[in-house]
Amino acid sequence: MPHPDHSLNLLSNVPIAKKQAHILNAHNKTRVDNYYWMRDDERLNEHVLAHLHAENTYCDKQLAPIKPLQNTLFEELKARIVKDDNSVPVKDGKYWYHSEVRGDDEYSRHYRSTSIEADNKELLLDINVLAAGFEFFELGEVALSPCEQLMAYSEDTEGRRIYLVRFKNLETDEMLPDVLENTEGQVVWANDNKTVFYVKKDLKTLLGYQVFRHELGSEQSQDVMVYEEQDSSFFMGLGKSRDESLIIIDLASTETNDTWVLDANKPTGEFEALMPREDGHEFDVDKLGDTFYIVTNWQAKNFRLMTATNETIADKTQWFEHTAHRENVLLEGVELFNDFLVLSEREQGQSRFVVVNRQGNCMALEFADPCYYAAIAMNPEPETRTARIYYSSLTTPGSLYDVDLTTGEKTLLKQQKVLGSFNADDYQSERLMVTARDGIKVPVSVVYRKDSFKKDASNPLFQYGYGAYGYTIDPSFSSSSLSLLDRGFVYVIAHVRGSEMLGREWYEQGKKEHKQNSFSDFIDVTKALVAQGYCDSNKVFASGGSAGGLLMGAVVNQAPELYCGVGCHVPFLDVLTTMLDESIPLTTNEYDEWGNPNDQQFYDVIEAYSPYDNIRAQNYPNILVTTGLHDSQVQYWEPMKWVAKMRELKTDSNILVFKTDMDAGHGGASGRFKSLEEKALEMAFFIALLN
């Protein structure tokens, strides 16, 4: 482990938190939490806030010597971004919709026009105006009425993902008096152009659990609750079927889905279950015309595509199999068009699309890069014969294509422009398979600059990981990573178990009782890359956020000697205590991911790796921790407690700094430039440690 850069301050006035013993008992086991007092649900406790401010002051002083480097990096990141930029117009109904951003504006403006050339564009929303006066602002969802003359949009001004919904008359350009508070942010219009549905949140658990019907012109207090979910392990969302005939309530726990529907032409009717709820049945359903399309795990771990009618949808034994289950191919979704289906699939970690026409003929759309990210883009009109597809790789900036669904021919509509000296040919990407300690091969995506990389154990390396919820971190282009690549770093994504990179089994082998696999995979990837000469063993850096922050917390407990510096962002660190407390937002939704520690089996599993519970007297890497005071997903006190306990027990003199954004939530700072400051800070922290 190298010593910290002596240009960094090693200050003696480290914030030392008071210790106040809090006894936690479960399963005849006792834990003593000396920093439990840091939890303040209201975020008003003066002692808590004072300690957070002290940590921020210490962080600023500790990192003051790298402030010039951070500023340099920030200007680099900012200089690569095109200041005046437009999105590609998307046709939906009578209009073409697009957004524009100009100059140093943090936010975009949304327009529509009657032609793709946007020669008669009409301003719908100026987010810069909406965000004025707020330290944080996030636009949630924008929803146009079927007649296209009324608009609903949602906004979050705290970062807690609690949205306020407002309405605008686009014919008169006037705001309507209707305001809907404490929502999930989604708004779905009935086909009568005057009724909307929305999900209301429980302000304590932050779970959406009730669906309300609102009629324009009425007070929110008069809204009618049309559905309430009693099982707090389910997340709730709203949508509309592809043919706009149904309003859909989507309910999803980690391992079970449920769907309720209402005729969009009869908004005062009652929602009905589309099929019986069945534990362990995961599915996604959509409807076009007379046919339901169901991507389901019923007798299909990697999912298959089934079809049904109104008469057969409630009985899955009467469904018709359209695309069979395959052991080595994960079916991720389907996009419906009048004359085509586009299947999103993943095999050996690589995404692809398969176009199926009405005659059942299939055509695969594939890409040449060794590792890449591809996704179906916005395709609001099912009658089209072309599909919008987004593509990016570690060396290819984000690109939007129109794909002819008959021939497969791709037409590039726009590629992200990277200002400055960027040349894709200067960089090389690789896909590796690293053998983990149990013999399983772990996919690894690697990119580096050709003229600075030598496989001689000399390069610094930055390794990123996540590994939870089945969420796959695909290898896509990041203009900000160029600042590391151009300084000789090798950039790595370790696709550890817990994602669905290699199918559903890959996810299941990284959750609950198998969670340790995620941590072991990440560590084993680091060891393999060092052994193969991809990097200098003294110049390895790692980073992760949220569940990836949990990954970082476990890794630095289990293999601290491997890493020079670690970035730990909005991290989930106090897993055992949080999962035992159902009053903490979102806890009950997580039981199927981590296990319910009220069951001793899972108590023991979580206790064995929970980062907060496993800090011990040993040397740790240099660590930068960040969070948001208003984080709704991972509460601020988790990293706060973790840092305090680590300060108490760690035996090294390496840097440990903790920065709390007092205005932001889980997503960090808002705005296209302000958010770059956080990236520049982490990069500066790592680069300075090389000296």
Q: Indicate which residues carry an active-site annotation.
A: 546, 631, 666
Helical axes 516-531 vs 600-609, angle rounded to 10° = 30
622 close to 564: Cβ distance less than 8 angstroms: yes
Q: Which residues contact 378 (CB under 8 A, 6 or more apart)?
A: 90, 388
107 close to 131: Cβ distance less than 8 angstroms: yes
Amino acid, single-letter form, for residue 553: G
Reference 360, options 347, 376, 343, 378; nearest CA is 343
80 close to 418: Cβ distance less than 8 angstroms: yes
φ and ψ at 350, to 5 degrees?
A: -100, 135
Using DSSP, state whether 333 is helix, strand or coil.
Answer: strand
CB contact burial 304-343 (16+ within 10 A = b; e otherwise)? bbbbbeeebbeebeebeebbebeeebbbbebbbbeebbbb
For residues 331 and 442, what is the distance between their CA atoms, to the nearest angstrom? 20
Which residue reads 């398969």 in tokens? 354
Distance from the first to the final alpha carbon of the chain: 13
For residues 5 and 9, what is the distance between their CA atoms, to the nearest angstrom? 9
φ and ψ at 314, to 5 degrees?
A: -75, -10
CB contact burial 565-583 (16+ within 10 A = b; e otherwise)? bbbbbbbbbbbbbbbbeee
568 close to 478: Cβ distance less than 8 angstroms: no
610 close to 579: Cβ distance less than 8 angstroms: no
φ and ψ at 590, to 5 degrees?
A: -95, -5
112 close to 122: Cβ distance less than 8 angstroms: yes
Identify how many contiguous H helices and E strands the chain contains and give both numbers. Answer: 12, 38
Sheet containing 150-156, strands listed edge to edge, beginning at the edge strand earlier in sequence: 138-144, 150-156, 163-169, 174-189, 195-201, 208-215, 224-228
For residues 565 and 554, what is the distance between their CA atoms, to the nearest angstrom? 14
For residues 262 and 270, what is the distance between their CA atoms, to the nearest angstrom? 6
129 close to 149: Cβ distance less than 8 angstroms: no
Give the pairing of strands 29-33 and 372-376. Answer: unpaired
For residues 174 and 464, what is the distance between their CA atoms, to the nearest angstrom? 47
Using DSSP, state whether 468 is helix, strand or coil.
Answer: coil
Amino acid, single-letter form, for residue 42: E
- Cα angle at 196 between 191 and 197, to 5 degrees? 120
Give the pairing of strands 622-628 and 656-661. Answer: parallel
258 close to 237: Cβ distance less than 8 angstroms: no
DSSP string, 135-195: S--EEEEEEE-TTSSEEEEEEESSSSS-EEEEEEETTTTEEEEEEEEEEEEEEEE-TTSSE
Q: Write out the two tokens for 514.
A: 């198998």
Amino acid, single-letter form, for residue 46: E
250 close to 238: Cβ distance less than 8 angstroms: yes
Using DSSP, state whether 339 is helix, strand or coil.
Answer: coil
For residues 53 and 16, what is the distance between their CA atoms, to the nearest angstrom? 13
Amino acid, single-letter form, for residue 590: E
